[in-house]
Structure 1
Amino acid sequence: MGVEVRVEALSKSFGRQNIWHNVSLTLPAGEISALLGPSGTGKSVFLKSLIGLIRPEGGRCLVDGVDTVSADEKTLLRTRRQFGVLFQDGALFGSLPVYDNVAFPLREHTRKTEAEIRSIVMEKLAMVGLVGTERKLPGEISGGMRKRAGLARALVLDPEIILCDEPDSGLDPVRTALLGQLLMDLNAQTDATILVVTHNISLARTLPDNLGMLFRRELVMFGPREVLLTSDEPVIGQFLNGRRTGPIGMAEEKDQALLDAERHLDPGEDEVRGLVPQLEPTPGLPERRGLARHRHRLGEGWHTLPEHTRAAVTAAHEAEQAQRRTAAAS
């Protein structure tokens, strides 16, 4: 099972440039979370801060009780072994074949025999559908295959936490959908805690249990997907719909005068808002324990949810039940 990651009042700057400040959120153990935000809001910096590759100036990041912000190097290295990271470009070694790329963490951080390494590598390649590519170089396979090879490498140490930095970057819509399904299946099989940074709205609406957004150097919102996807927050509506009008501009933010001037350009109601069915594991895989925990937490906090969120969740549940009755009757 994955572990909880608790972030408390985290702040990061580079020189005089503040990236974000006072960010607090909790990645629930064994659940899938996603983080949205305009380009340049520090989402990748946030991921690197979680594993201690970048040290924030303030706050704490507790991973299984260890604060990765203040931990010494020895403790930090031990804690990093709980993480598997899929970098934006796959970060494969171009001169090594796929097999050796995936085997690299095992050879670097364990004393396993080559026979043991081969068994693990082939198991992970099978999980991501790459059996048969072992001897190919990264340059000889497609971008989507490189992403999956990077994911296989992130999995070889059986991490309890998986971080994915824009896994959809450079992929066509079909490959992005297949990658989303792969992450859902991995969660069902491993119960790992997963955090995905993405700009892909379809992925953000259908994959995670929890969803958040960074904007103007702050965390606008983070919590159950049901809350963010039904939110009236203007910046969230603009981002989900890819609208020109709203708080986000080419320089990330607009002043009030510009917002007032462009109101007449607003085409009306948001086209993308509300709950859509969440992805499910591929038939034959276990039911997700993370989903059960997510629904339990949602029920416990039911009275704190906005009324329109409760109505949307109820309607979605009734539609799901009706669909199941129809399927059972056919």
Structure 2
Amino acid sequence: MGIEVKVEGLTKSFGRQNIWQDVSLTLPAGEVSVMLGPSGTGKTVFLKSLIGLLKPEHGRVLVNGVDMARSPERDIMEARKLFGLMFQDGALFGSMNLFDNIAFPLREHTKKKESEIRRIVMERIDAVGLLGSEGKLPGEISGGMRKRAGLARALVLDPQIILCDEPDSGLDPVRTAFISQLLIDLNTTTDATMLIVTHNLDIAATVPDNMGMLFRRHLVTFGPREVLLTSQEPVVSQFLTASKHGPIGMSEEKDEATLAAEASGGMVAPQPKALVPQLQPSPGLGERAAVARRRERVLGMLDTLPGTAQEAIRSSYGRQDVLAPTVTLPRRGGAS
């Protein structure tokens, strides 16, 4: 099972520019979480802070008893082995074929024999649907395939925590649907704790168990998906409905005068869309182990949640039908 990640009072700045401050949340063990936010809100910085690649000015990130911000470097390096990180562009070595790119962490950080490395790498290549493409260079394949290869590389050390930085960037809606299904299937087969940073509303609405949002240097909210997806908070509603009306502007945020002018002009705040079902694992994979744990956890905190979220949760858990997935992951490589 994945490992819980506990963030306490995290604050990060670059010089005089404060990126975000006093961020506190817990990524539940084995569940899938998503972090949303307009461009420039420091979502990638947040991921790098979780894994200890960037040091915050204040706060802690606790992983298996290790503070990724303050513990001795040797302890941080050891704890970092629990993580798998999927970068926006795949971060593949251009001179290596996909097999060698994916094998790289095993050759660098383990003493496994080449026969064992080949078995592991081919299993991961198969898992992300790239069989037959292992001999190709990154420049010879599509952006979607590079992302899947980057994800395969993140998985070779069997991480208990998987961080995905905008896995949908540059992909069309169909390939994004395949990536969404792949992430759910990976959680099903690995039971790893997952955090996905994304702008994509389809991923946000259908993939996670939990959702958060960064805006104006603060964490707006973090909790069960139903809380954010039914939120009446103006910035959340605006983001989820892709509306021009609300606190988010072209330069990230609008000033008070602009917001007052919108209100006086009779502009109505956008309303949240109807809650859509969460994606289910592909046929044959069974149920995610996180489902039962999440149900117990969420029902235990139900009375502390907003009324709209409570209603959505009760409705969801009251349903008896099992929703089938809308897409299935291909098992062979393709230009996606």
Structure 1's 233 and 272: CA in aligned 2 closer, same or farther, altered over 3 A? Answer: closer
Structure 1's 61 and 188: CA in aligned 2 closer, same or farther, altered over 3 A? Answer: same
1:222 maps to: 222
1:109 maps to: 109
Structure 2 residue matching 1:251: 3-state secondary structure: coil
Q: Partners of 2:201 and 2:56 in 1: how far apart? A: 28
Structure 2 residue ranges without an equivalent (≥5): 324-336
Q: Is residue 245–residue 266 contact of structure 1 (8 Å, CA) maintained in 2?
A: no
Q: Partners of 2:322 and 2:276 in 1: how far apart? A: 16
Structure 2 residue matching 1:164: 3-state secondary structure: strand
Q: Partners of 1:274 and 1:196 in 2: how far apart? A: 22
2:254 maps to: 254
Q: Is residue 166–residue 197 contact of structure 2 (8 Å, CA) maintained in 1?
A: yes
Q: Is residue 130–residue 149 contact of structure 1 (8 Å, CA) maintained in 2?
A: yes
1:37 maps to: 37
**What does residue range 156-167 of structure 1 map to in structure 2 within 5 Å?**
156-167=156-167
**What does residue range 224-303 of structure 1 map to in structure 2 within 5 Å?**
224-263=224-263, 268=268, 270=270, 272-303=272-303
Q: Which amino acid aligns with 1:50?
A: L
Deviation, structure 1 residue 312: 2.2
2:18 maps to: 18
Q: Which amino acid aligns with 1:71?
A: S
Deviation, structure 1 residue 74: 1.3
Deviation, structure 1 residue 267: 5.9
Q: Is residue 245–residue 265 contact of structure 1 (8 Å, CA) maintained in 2?
A: no
**What does residue range 1-330 of structure 1 map to in structure 2 within 5 Å?**
1-263=1-263, 268=268, 270=270, 272-318=272-318, 320-321=319-320, 323=321
Structure 1's 297 and 138: CA in aligned 2 closer, same or farther, altered over 3 A? Answer: same
Deviation, structure 1 residue 253: 1.5
Superposition CA RMSD, Å: 1.5
TM-score using structure 1 length: 0.95
Structure 2 residue matching 1:158: 3-state secondary structure: coil
Deviation, structure 1 residue 313: 2.3
- Bigger shift: residues 302-311 or 262-271: 262-271
TM-score using structure 2 length: 0.93
Structure 1's 169 and 208: CA in aligned 2 closer, same or farther, altered over 3 A? Answer: same
Q: Partners of 1:137 and 1:302 in 2: how far apart? A: 50
1:63-122 deviations in Å (ceiling 9; x for gaps): 011000012221111111100000000000000000000000000000000000000000
Q: Partners of 2:236 and 2:58 in 1: how far apart? A: 27
Deviation, structure 1 residue 270: 3.2
Q: Which amino acid aligns with 2:75?
A: T
Q: Partners of 1:56 and 1:268 in 2: how far apart? A: 39
Structure 1 residue matching 2:259: 3-state secondary structure: helix
Structure 2 residue matching 1:130: 3-state secondary structure: coil
Q: Is residue 189–residue 286 contact of structure 1 (8 Å, CA) maintained in 2?
A: no
Structure 2 residue matching 1:262: 3-state secondary structure: helix
Count of residues in Structure 1 that have an aligned counterpart in Structure 2 = 323
Deviation, structure 1 residue 242: 1.2
